[in-house]
């Protein structure tokens, strides 16, 4: 798997190492309607990962 430098640098993909549906590691970048997605080569699902929070504690 070859890594390409992110173009623009704004919409950088979050690294995903396992498919959240079947747990397979055969993930390839998916460039469909929603950029920054991933496609699982095992279950053929395409999904996107979005960061909704960081590890900061409340209070």
Output the smallest distance, CB 59 to Zn ion, in A: 37
Output the smallest distance, CB 13 to Zn ion, in A: 17
Binding-site string for Zn ion from residue 7 to residue 46, where x marks contact by CB under 5 A and - marks none: ------------x-xx-x---------------x-xx---
Residues sharing a CB contact under 8 Å with residue 50, sequence separation 6 or more, in sequence order: 14
Q: Which two tokens stand for residue 48?
A: 């996107």
Using the Cα atoms of residue 22, residue 23, residue 27 and residue 29 in order, give the sign of their dihedral.
positive
DSSP assignment letter at 39: E
By the criterion CB under 5 A, which residues form the site for Zn ion?
A: 19, 21-22, 24, 40, 42-43
């Amino acid at each position: 798997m070859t890594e390409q430098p992110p173009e623009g640098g704004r919409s950088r993909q979050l690294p995903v190492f396992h498919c959240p549906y079947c747990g397979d590691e055969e993930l390839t970048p998916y460039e469909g309607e929603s950029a920054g997605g991933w496609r699982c080569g095992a279950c053929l699902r395409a999904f996107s990962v979005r960061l909704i929070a960081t590890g900061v504690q409340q209070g």
